Amino acid sequence: MTDEFAAVTEIHIHEDEWGMRCLHPLEAAAEVAADLLAAEAASRANRAPDGVGWTDVHVIAAPADDYAAAGLTFAQADAALTPIMPRIRRFVATASAGFTEGVEDPMGSYEDDAYCYGVDASCFVKLDGEEPLVEQIWYQADTEDPARLDRLRRAIIAVDRLVPSVIADYRLDCTGSVGDGEFLDRYMRMLDQEYED
């Protein structure tokens, strides 16, 4: 596959970004919606008095129905995602704000054989679980680039074709079924407009 992004060999993020935008099996829709409401309420209740930051955090609850329960394998997901986004095996999530190249963060997460598909740290899909089964799928969309957002949309749809899924976006306080075309169109516009403010 000839791909302008194929040269990217590592994705490096801050750990706070982990799991803020997720896909879950459709069976988890009610749990996901309830947790998003709880997260919104916690955000309002725990806003710091000076308006900068929060005094406490909401821990995202993993729904009981995950992709392993649906039988999704890494092999199936890999076959669906690789034609859309190159696989990037090196994945790093660091806890410290001042990451120094070549020095490992003792609180960081380092994977050398990750199931991560993307163009760079601004746009990727990450699979987590224990071989052979995928348990969780999450992604990043910190871009307004139409080509990158189109790849992300195609990747989300590819997952939905394997296991009907819902989106849980904790940054945009939004959830909905991938199979609902009107919702997906609206959601992709929201991602694009997030960077116009």
What is the count of structural domains for the chain? 1
Residue with tokens 């790093």, as numbered in its chain: 92
pTM of the model: 0.84
Tens digits of pLDDT across the chain (197 residues): 445 666 789 988 866 676 689 999 999 999 999 888 876 765 565 565 676 665 556 567 788 899 999 999 999 999 999 999 999 999 998 876 555 556 565 555 789 999 999 999 999 999 999 999 999 999 999 999 999 999 999 999 999 999 999 999 999 999 999 999 999 999 999 999 886 65
Specify the pLDDT at position 16.
61
DSSP string over 10-60: EEEEEGGGTTSEEEEEGGGHHHHHHHHHHHHHHHHHTB-TTSSSBSS-PPP
Does residue 51 lie within any of the structural domains?
no
Does residue 4 lie within any of the structural domains?
no
Specify the pLDDT at position 1.
41
Domain of residue 163 covers 10-46+58-97+104-193
Does residue 128 lie within any of the structural domains?
yes
Does residue 2 lie within any of the structural domains?
no
Does residue 53 lie within any of the structural domains?
no
Specify the pLDDT at position 50.
72
Q: Say which CATH number the domain at 33 has.
A: 3.30.310
